[in-house]
Structures are given as structure tokens and as C-alpha cells.
Amino acid sequence: MSIPSFGVGTFRLTGQTVIDSVRNALDVGYRAIDTAQIYGNEAEVGQAIAASGVKRDELFITTKIWTDSYARTKLIPSLRESLDKLRTDRVDLTLIHWPAPGNGVALPEFMEALAEAKSQGLTRQIGISNFNIELTRQAVAVVGEGEIATNQIELSPYLQSRKLTAFLKEEGIHVTSYMTLAYGKVLKDAVLAEIAHKHQATVAQVALAWALQLGYAVIPSSTKRENLASNLLAQDLKLDADDMARIAQLERNGREVNPEGLAPAWD
């Protein structure tokens, strides 16, 4: 089992908007879909999948457990609710959404519950999201080496998190990049625009290709069918060493998502 390198995200998309986005994504070739309990759109994602006609075995569905369901007695029931909404008997990947230190549920408790969900066949793989190095170490200590499939973290040309990503690579934990376009801020970057012009590509394709070439999975979202299709073409874009070096210099610790009480102390 592995993590697909390219998927479609559904953060901030609800109602008919997310139904249309997932339908269009599946229609243009996406087969990995990322959602979460807190997004409030699992039922609509499930509806779009069901209507698409794409076979379940061809899909890779990820959801994330929200903080109010971290307790041992709540995690598995909450995941079963997610499965009902998604109209499936299991997801391919389930993540702890945020470490939420001070949430009242200790890390060993929710990681053990997540591992139990896997043992019950509710999810094929388990992982974490927004964990720093120390918390990732603690999670591995609970569930064992090789059990954590990915750490889904914010990454973009403006936030490259080299220390954390190097650690994850050493541990054999796949990196999934979210917010790769930094809420669209990188789309206005002059350096990325020059690289895009050189390759006759879009700036979004350049940013996504950068992440892909570093070995990360990406899950960009869009409400526009043409952008969904265009983003997929990043898989065919090969940046050269000079391009990658120029993008490396764009690092500015440009973190967009850092909710108080949920986020860890970042490396």
C-alpha cells in the first residue's frame, strides 16, 4: 500500500460546490479524494462518488478524525459515522487531524484507538496531520515502526519545513503537502512566473511539480473543472536543478494555518 501522489482536496468546500468539485475531479481523472470530519462535507463527497460510477476499488479516500472524537470511546464510532456518510465500508487512510496538545486526550490514547480502527478493517492505513518531529516520534512509539503512512502538513514554496520533511523521509513516513499554493499567494510570485513561462506551464503547475519532485503527495482543490484538469498536468512537468534551486530560495516561513490550541510547536 502507498499514498497516491496526486489527489483532490475538499477543504472549505460544502454543499453543491463540493459535489460539483468531486464530480469534475473524478471525471477528469482524479482517483484520490481528501476530506475530513470537520469539513462538514463527507456526505456530499460520498454522494458525488456514488453518482460518478467509478468503482470503489479504483478510489483512494482519506478522512481525518476531529479533536472532539479523540477519546478512546469516541474515535471508532465517529469513524463509522464518517463511513456511513461516505457510503463505504472502509476508507483507505484515516488521519489524526491535529495533535491538539492540552485537548484533554493524551496522544497514546488516540493513537491506540486509531490503530484499533485499522485492526477492525475500518481503514486500510493510518496516519497523522500537522505533527512536529517530537509528536511524530511519540506517535510511532505507540503504533510501531512502519504503521504511520503519512504526515499531512502545510507545505509550499514559502513554507518548506526542511527539518521536518527530512526527518519524515528518514523515518519512511510519506509527506503529504496541503496548502501547496499558499491560499493562492504563490500564484503571484515573480520567480515562479518566470519558471512557468520557461516551461510554458502555469504557476500552479510549477508549485505542484516542485512538491512532487521532492517526493511529496499533493491534494490541491478547485471549484473550476479547467483548473482541476490543469493541476493534474503538473505530473508531467519536469523542473530542472536551476528551477528547484530558485524555488528553494523562496522559503520565508510563510505559514498560513496555525490554529491556537490545535497546532504543535513547529520545528
Give the 3-state secondary structure of 162-204: HHHHHHHHHHCCEEEEECCCHHHHHHHCHHHHHHHHHHCCCHH
**What's residue 123's pLDDT?**
98
Average pLDDT, the chain: 98
Secondary structure (DSSP) of 10-76: -TT--HHHHHHHHHHHHHHT--EEE--GGGT-HHHHHHHHHHH---GGG-EEEEEE-GGG-SHHHHH
**What's residue 1's pLDDT?**
62
Residues that are catalytic:
39
Residue at 12: amino acid letter? R
Would the pLDDT of 52 be above 90? Answer: yes
Residue 251 domain flag: no
Residue 25 domain flag: yes
Grid coordinates 484533554 are at which residue? 104
For the segment 13-25, the average pLDDT, to the nearest whole number, is 98
Would the pLDDT of 155 be above 70? Answer: yes
Percent of the chain with pLDDT over 90: 99
Residue 238 domain flag: no
Residue 107 domain flag: yes
Residue 264 domain flag: no
pLDDT in tens, 195-244: 999 999 999 999 999 999 999 999 999 999 999 999 999 999 999 999 99
Residue 208 domain flag: no
Q: What is the CATH number of the domain that holds 72?
A: 3.20.20.100
**What's residue 102's pLDDT?**
86
Residue 240 domain flag: no
Confirm whether residue 97 is marked as ligand binding. Answer: yes
Task: Give the separation between CA 61 and CA 71, rounded to whole angstroms.
Answer: 23
Task: Give the separation between CA 180 and CA 158, rounded to whole angstroms.
Answer: 9
The pTM of this model reads 0.98
Residue at 71: amino acid letter? A
Would the pLDDT of 41 be above 80? Answer: yes
For the segment 142-167, the average pLDDT, to the nearest whole number, is 98
Count up the domains in the chain and report the number. Answer: 1
Separation of CA 61 from chain center? 11
CB < 8 Å & 24+ apart, contacts of 68-74: 69/37, 70/96, 70/100, 70/103, 70/105, 70/109, 70/110, 70/113, 71/105, 71/109, 71/110, 71/113, 72/109, 72/110, 72/112, 72/113
Grid coordinates 490550541 are at which residue? 261
Could you tell me the three cell numbers for 90?
A: 472502509
Task: Give the separation between CA 49 and CA 86, rounded to whole angstroms.
Answer: 8
Q: Tell me if 264 sits within 8 A of 136, measured CB to CB.
A: no
**What's residue 236's pLDDT?**
98
Would the pLDDT of 166 be above 80? Answer: yes
pLDDT in tens, 65-89: 999 999 999 999 999 999 999 999 9
User: Domain range spanning residue 101?
Assistant: 8-182+216-222
Residue 97 domain flag: yes
